[in-house]
Amino acid sequence: MSNNQYARFRSLLPTSPVLVGTVISSAACSTTVEYPGGPRVVVRGSATVSSAVFVRGGAIEGPAPSLPVVTAEV
């Protein structure tokens, strides 16, 4: 175990979250993804239009299952 307190603290923090979105448009190496609720972002990678994808850190990680989306406010 490290004696560096900052490194130990950083290990407790989560990495970039994995988000699920729907592909709106796709070009050679960039894709526009729409997240549930409406925000759209341009990410690296390519995928089929209207498919669901996993996105982490601004890049497509792979296909996601097409499941119903449920949002809840707390």
Extract the tokens encoding 19. Answer: 């988000």
Q: Name the more confident of 18 and 66.
A: 18
Q: What pTM was computed for the model? A: 0.73
Tokens in use for 12?
A: 């407790």
How far is residue 39's CA from residue 8's CA, in Å, rounded to a whole number?
A: 34
Q: What digits encode the pLDDT tens for the residues 9-52?
A: 888 888 889 999 999 999 888 999 999 888 999 999 999 999 99
CB atoms under 10 Å from CB of 71, counted, come to 6
Q: What is the mean pLDDT of residues 67-74?
A: 80
pLDDT digits (tens, 9 = 90+) for 2-17: 688 998 888 888 888 9
